[in-house]
Copies of this chain bind each other. A is one copy, B any other.
Amino acid sequence: MPVKAGERLDPEATRARILKAAAEVFGRRGIHAAGMNEIVEAAGASKLTIYKNFGSKEGLVEAVLTDRTQRVRAWHNEAVDAAPAGREQILAVFELIATWYAEAGFRGCAMMNAATEDRGQDGAPRRLAQDHLRFYRQLFERLLIGARNPEVTARQLVVVLEGATLISAVDQDPGLGAEARVIVETLLDAAF
């Protein structure tokens, strides 16, 4: 039975549905371990549609990661804009990730995970992971204007963010959110 009755034929919605399902399956099972048939089933889409939209598994991975990094950046930008200026904005970023760690099915940062799986390869996953790290560095650097050395402190905060994320995923411990916050406060005290 092709095309569920009563549903509109909307290519953009179909593409978004595939992206969402693929992100879930890749996150839960790992990129290599996830088969295209699993994604077909999870998305309720045909292989034809997936390959028309993304060309290959590699293309699908790149699209999922690109979508993911953009969403994460938007979340952080919104959280920062909503916080009072100053170090409260930096702490808002870590508040956000603390709630992220506590979400069911939390499996760490998709970009770092993908780059780790792709060890050695110089493909899209590593490039997107590096871009993701650069976003964090630039975000923190912007929020650290007035500090003694914004660039250095920004890099330090990224180390803390990614370290806490990795350990939270491996240990399945949402407490790393609070832990990271304490470290950040110490670093900020020393940075001004």
Binding site for B on A (CB under 8 A): 27-30, 32-33, 107-108, 112-113, 115-120, 126, 129-130, 133, 152, 155-156, 158-164, 166-167, 169-171, 176, 179-180, 182-183, 186-187, 189-190
Contacts and interface: CB of A to CB of B under 8 A. Distances in A.
30 contacts: A27-B119, A28-B119, A28-B120, A29-B120, A30-B119, A107-B119, A108-B119, A112-B170, A113-B119, A115-B170, A116-B116, A116-B117, A116-B166, A116-B169, A116-B170, A129-B170, A133-B170, A133-B171, A155-B179, A156-B183, A158-B163, A159-B163, A159-B176, A159-B180, A160-B160, A160-B163, A160-B183, A163-B163, A163-B166, A186-B186
Of the listed residues A29, A156, A166, the one surrounded by the most CB atoms of chain B closer than 10 A to its CB is: A166
B169 A164 contact: no
Nearest to A179: B155
Contacts of A32: 30, 32-33, 117
A107 B133 contact: no
A151 B155 CA distance: 25
A74 to B, nearest CB: 22
A155 B173 CA distance: 12
A39 to B, nearest CB: 15
Given A32-B33, A116-B117, A186-B186, 15 more contacts: A29-B119, A30-B118, A33-B117, A33-B119, A112-B116, A112-B170, A115-B170, A116-B170, A129-B170, A155-B179, A156-B179, A159-B160, A162-B163, A162-B166, A183-B187
